[in-house]
Structure 1
Amino acid sequence: MSLINVTNLTFSYEGSYDTIFENVSFQIDTDWKLGFTGRNGRGKTTFLNLLLGKYEYRGNISANVTFEYFPYEVQEQENLTIDIIKEISPNSMDWEIIKELSLLDVDDDVLYRQFYTLSKGEQTKAMLAAMFLKENSFLLIDEPTNHLDADARKKLSNYLRKKKGFILISHDRYFLDNCIDHVLSINKTNIEIQKGNFSSWWENKKRQDGYELAENEKLKRDINRLSESAKRTNSWSNEVEKSKKGTTNSGSKIDKGYVGHKAAKMMKRSKSIENRQQASIEEKSKLLKNIESSDSLKISQLAYHKNKLAELENISIYYGNILVCKDVSFNIEQGDRISIKGKNGSGKSSIIKLICGEDIKYTGTFRKGSELKISYVSQDTSHLKGNLTDYAFENNIDESLFKAILRKLDFTRIQFEKDMSSFSGGQKKKVLIAKSLCEKVHLHIWDEPLNFIDIISRMQIEQLLLEYSPTLLFVEHDSEFCKNVATKSFEF
C-alpha cells in the first residue's frame, strides 16, 4: 500500500478561460477500487491525463506507482493478440496470461487471432488483463463499458471486483456498485472522496443536499427577520436622536443623560442585529455550492392516428450473403417503451436501421405506418462539428428550446460559444438527445443513447421517459436504466 498525494492542483487548458481545477488537494490509497464520478465536462479524463503527466499544471502530484491508462492504443492491430498483450506487459508468462483471461471468461484461442478480429468486448478484456499483469501499476480505467453488451459488462464488473488499485470512470450505476469500494466525485466547487459504492455515495449526497436546502430556507427566514428588526431599531434610534434637541410633550426639559444611555443601548442592539445578520449571510453563502442542477426535461410527442406504428414478422437481415439476424418478430404500439437486447453483432442496430427506412436486405414481413415520423439517435457522434446555433438551424429545430434542454443537462453558457468538436463524448451525446427531444415525431428510436453520459443526466432522461411515456424503441446496455424504463423487451 502507498499513497497518491494531490496538493493544491490547479489547471486550465491553454487559451481557455475555464479553470478545470483550482487548489484541489486529496489523497488516494493505491489499494482502493475507486469509482470516479462527475457530470460531463467536469474534468474526469483531464485528471487522468494529469496523473499521466500529459499536461503542465500548478501544484503537486506525488506517487510511488506507475500509472497505466485504459483504453490502451493498439497501433498494429494486425498482430496476434498474444503479441499485443506482451507488448503491454513484456514480463508476463503465457500461463499467467491464460489464467487472467480465464477470469474474464475469455477463451485462450483469442491469443492466436489477429487483434482486429476480436469483438470490442474481447479487445477490452484482453487489454485489461495485460494491464493488470504489470507490476507496481495503478490503472486509470476510462469508460470500459461503452459498446459492451449487458453480459460482457457483468463479467467485467465481476473481474474488477477481485482486483484492487485502480480508478474507474463509468456511468453505469450497477457496474460501479458491483466493483468499487470508494468514490471520487468531481463536484461543482470541489473534489471529495467517500468510502462505499455509488449507491451509498448517492444516498449521502441526497441527504447532504436535503440538509443544505432546509438550512438555506431557515437562514433566508433569519436574514429577512433580522433585516426587519434592523429597520425598526434604526427607526427607534432616529427618534431618540431627534428627542435630544426637543422637549417632552408636557413641555419639561429632556433628561439628556437618560437619552444618551438609551441611544447607546439602541446602537449596541443595532450592532448585535447587524452581526447576527452578517453571520447568517456568511453561513448561507457556504450552502448549495455543490447541489447539481437537474431540472425536469419535457417531451411533446405527436399522436399517431393508429395504435400500431410498426410490425415486424419473421424478419431476417443479410449483409451480402451473411445472415445477421433471423426470424425477428415484434410490434411497436403507442406508449410502448421497447428495450432491444442482445450481444454485440446480433443485429440490433440493423433492425433499427430497417425501421428508420434505410435500404437493408431482408426477408419476412415489415409494415410501417404511413407518414410515420421518427426521431433517430445514432451511436456515432463523430459528425458533430461547428456551433450549436448553426446545428439547430440545419436540423430545423427551435434553437431556444434546444439550448434550454442542454442547459438542463448541465451545459454552461460558455459551452454554447464553443465548437462541438471540442465537446466531451458525453456532451456530444447530449446534443443528439436534445435534438431528438426537440423534434415533433410519433416515435423515438435511440441506439445506445447513454454512452458517455453522466449518471445524473441519465436519471433526468429516465425521469422524463417515466413521466411523459413517449413511444420509444431503444438499445441500451445500462441494466438499471432498462429495468426502470422499459415496458417491453425483445432479446435477440
Structure 2
Amino acid sequence: MSLIHVSNLTFAYEGSYDHIFDNVSFQIDTDWKLGFTGRNGRGKTTFLQLLQGKYEYSGLISAQVSFDYFPFPVENKEVGTLDLISSIHPDYAHWELMRELSLLHVSDDVLYRPFSSLSNGEQTKVLLATLFLKENNFLLIDEPTNHLDMKARKLVSDYLNSKRGFILISHDRAFLDNCVDHILSINRTNIDIQKGNFSAWWENKKRQDKYELAENDRLKKDIKNLTESARRTSNWSHEVEKSKNGTRNSGLRVDKGYVGHKAAKMMKRSKSIEHRQQSAMDEKSKLLKNIESSDSLKISQLSYHKNQLVELENVSIYYGEKVVCSEVNFTIGQAERIALTGKNGSGKSSLIKLICGEELNYTGTFRKGSQLKISYVSQDTSHLEGNLTDYARHNGIDESLFKAILRKLDFARIQFEKDISAFSGGQKKKVLLAHSLCEKAHLHIWDEPLNFIDVISRMQIEELLLEHSPTLLFVEHDREFCSNIATKVVEL
C-alpha cells in the first residue's frame, strides 16, 4: 500500500481564463478501487492526464507507483494482437495473460488475429488484461463501457471487482456499484472522497443536499426576523433620542441619565442583533455551493394522426452477401419507449438507419407513416465544430431554447463562447441531445445517447422521458436507464 498525494493543485489550459482545478488537495490509497464521478467538463479526464505528467501545473502530485492509461492508444491496429501485447508489456508471462483473458471470457484465437479484427468489446478486454499484468502500476481507466453491450459491461465490471489499484471514470451506475469501494467526486467547489460505492455516495449527497436546503430556509427566516428586529430597535432608539429634547417644547424636565442609559441599552441590543444577523448570513453563504442544478427538461413532441408509426415484419438487412440481422418483427406505437437491445454487431444501428430513411438492402415488410418527422441522435460527435449560435442557425433550431436546455444540463455560460470541438465528450453529446429536444418531431430515435453523459444529466433525461412520455426508439447499454425507461424491449 502507498499513497498518491495531491497538494494545492491548480491548473488551467493555455489561453483559457477559467481554472479546471484551483488549489485542491487530497490523497488516494493505491489499494483502492476508486470510482471517479462528476459532471461533464469538470476535469475528470484532465486529472488523469495530469497524473501522467502530460501538462504543466502548479502544486504537487507525488506517487510511488507508475500510471497506465486506458484506453491505451494503438497507432497501428493492423498489428497482431500478441505483438501489440508484447509492445505494451514485454515481460508478461503467457500463462498469466491466458488466466486474465479467461476471466474476461476471451478466446485464445484473438491473440493470433490482427487487433483491428477484434470487436470493440474484445479490444477493451485485451487491453485491460494486459495493463493489469504490469506490476507496481496504478491503472487510470477512462470510460471503458462506451460501446460495450450489457453482457460485456457485466463481465468487465466483475473483472474490475476482482482487482485493486485503479481509478475508474464511468457514468454507468450499476457498473460502478459492482466494482468500486471508494468514490472521488469533482463537485462545483471542491473535490470529495468517500468510502463505499456510487449508490452509497449518492444517498449521502442527497442527505447533505436536503440538510443544506433546510438549513438555508431556516437561516433565511432568521435573517428576515433579525432584519425586522433591527428596524424596530432603530425606531426605538430614534424615539429615545427625540425624548432628550422633548422638555424644551413641553416644559417638563427629563432625567437625561436615565435616557442615556436607555439609549445605551438600545445601542447594545442593536449591535447584538447586527452581529447575529451577520453570523447567520455568513453561515448561509457556506451552504448550497455543491448542490447540483438539475432543472427539469421539456420535450415538445408532435402528435401523429395514426397510433402506429412504424412496422417491421420479417425484416432482414444485408450488406452485400452478409446478413446483418434477420427476420426482425416489431412496431412503434404512439408514446412507446422502445429499447433496441442485442450484442454489438447484431444490427441495431442498421435498423435505425433503415427507419431514418437510409437506402439499405433488405427483405421483408417495412412500413413507415407518411410525413413522419424523426429526430435522430447519432453515436458520432466527431463532426461537431464552430460555436453554438452558428450550430443552432445552421440546424434551424431556436437558439434561446437550445442554450436554455444546455444551461439546464450544466453548461456554464462561458462554454457558449467556446468552439464545440473543444468541448468534452459528454458536452458534445449534450449538444446533440439538446438539438433533438428542440426539434418538433413525431418520433425520437437515439443511438447510444448516454455515452460520456454524466450521471446527474442521465437522471434528468430519465425524468424528462417519464414525465412527457414521448415516442422513442433508443439503443442504450446503461442497464438502470433501460429498466427505468423502456415500455417495450426488442432484443436482436
Report the TM-score when normalising by structure 2.
0.99
Q: Classify the secondary structure of the residue corresponding to 1:353.
A: helix
Which residue is equivalent to 1:261? 261
Distance 1:203 1:463 in 2: 18
Which residue is equivalent to 2:401? 401
Q: Does residue 56 of structure 1 match 2:56?
A: yes
Which residue is equivalent to 2:464? 464
Q: Does residue 489 of structure 1 match 2:489?
A: yes
What is the letter of the counterpart of residue 451 of structure 2?
Answer: N
Distance 1:429 1:89 in 2: 34
Which residue is equivalent to 2:340? 340
Q: Does residue 33 of structure 1 match 2:33?
A: yes
Distance 1:78 1:231 in 2: 79
What is the letter of the counterpart of residue 390 of structure 2?
Answer: D
* Cα distance, 1:91 vs structure 2: 1.1
What is the letter of the counterpart of residue 123 of structure 2?
Answer: Q
Distance 1:157 1:179 in 2: 6
Matches within 5 A, 1:409-428: 409-428=409-428
Which residue is equivalent to 2:91? 91
Which residue is equivalent to 1:378? 378
Distance 1:111 1:384 in 2: 36
Q: Classify the secondary structure of the residue corresponding to 2:247.
A: coil
Pairwise CA RMSD: 0.9
* Cα distance, 1:309 vs structure 2: 0.2
Distance 1:51 1:462 in 2: 34
C-alpha distance after superposition, 1:73-114 (max 9, x if no partner) = 112212111111121111111111111110111111111111
What is the letter of the counterpart of residue 345 of structure 2?
Answer: G
Q: Classify the secondary structure of the residue corresponding to 1:156.
A: helix
* Cα distance, 1:350 vs structure 2: 0.1
What is the letter of the counterpart of residue 139 of structure 2?
Answer: L
Distance 2:147 2:175 in 1: 14
* Cα distance, 1:247 vs structure 2: 1.7
Which residue is equivalent to 1:234? 234
1:462 and 1:481 in contact (8 A); partners too? yes
What is the letter of the counterpart of residue 456 of structure 2?
Answer: I
Distance 2:122 2:289 in 1: 42
What is the letter of the counterpart of residue 366 of structure 2?
Answer: F
Matches within 5 A, 1:211-360: 211-247=211-247, 251-360=251-360
The worse-fitting range, judged by mean Cα deviation, of 115-124 and 245-254 is: 245-254
Which residue is equivalent to 2:112? 112
Which residue is equivalent to 1:158? 158
* Cα distance, 1:20 vs structure 2: 0.7
1:212 and 1:288 in contact (8 A); partners too? yes
Distance 2:20 2:214 in 1: 30
Residue 430 and residue 246 in structure 1: after superposition, are their counterparts in 2 closer, same or farther (change >3 A)? same
Q: Does residue 171 of structure 1 match 2:171?
A: yes
C-alpha distance after superposition, 1:14-48 (max 9, x if no partner) = 11111111110111000000000000000000000
Q: Classify the secondary structure of the residue corresponding to 2:355.
A: helix
What is the letter of the counterpart of residue 370 of structure 2?
Answer: S
Report the TM-score when normalising by structure 1.
0.99
Which residue is equivalent to 1:435? 435
* Cα distance, 1:201 vs structure 2: 0.3
Q: Classify the secondary structure of the residue corresponding to 1:350.
A: helix
Distance 1:121 1:132 in 2: 17
Distance 2:125 2:245 in 1: 90
1:149 and 1:477 in contact (8 A); partners too? yes
* Cα distance, 1:250 vs structure 2: 6.3
C-alpha distance after superposition, 1:222-267 (max 9, x if no partner) = 0010001001111111111222223298632110100110111001
Q: Classify the secondary structure of the residue corresponding to 1:415.
A: helix
What is the letter of the counterpart of residue 120 of structure 1?
Answer: N
Q: Classify the secondary structure of the residue corresponding to 1:268.
A: helix
Matches within 5 A, 1:3-152: 3-152=3-152
C-alpha distance after superposition, 1:176-219 (max 9, x if no partner) = 00000000000000000000000000000000000000000000
Distance 2:271 2:346 in 1: 75
Which residue is equivalent to 1:448? 448
Distance 1:90 1:241 in 2: 90
Q: Classify the secondary structure of the residue corresponding to 1:54.
A: coil
Instruction: Specify every segment of 5 or more residues in structure 2 that has no aligned partner in the other structure, as ranges.
Output: none
1:315 and 1:364 in contact (8 A); partners too? yes
**For this pair of structures, how many residues does the alignment match?**
492
Distance 1:258 1:423 in 2: 71
Instruction: Specify every segment of 5 or more residues in structure 1 that has no aligned partner in the other structure, as ranges.
Output: none
What is the letter of the counterpart of residue 275 of structure 2?
Answer: N
Identity, % of aligned positions: 76
1:248 and 1:254 in contact (8 A); partners too? no
Distance 2:14 2:116 in 1: 36
Distance 2:252 2:447 in 1: 91
Distance 2:299 2:427 in 1: 19
Moved over 3 A (4+): 248-251
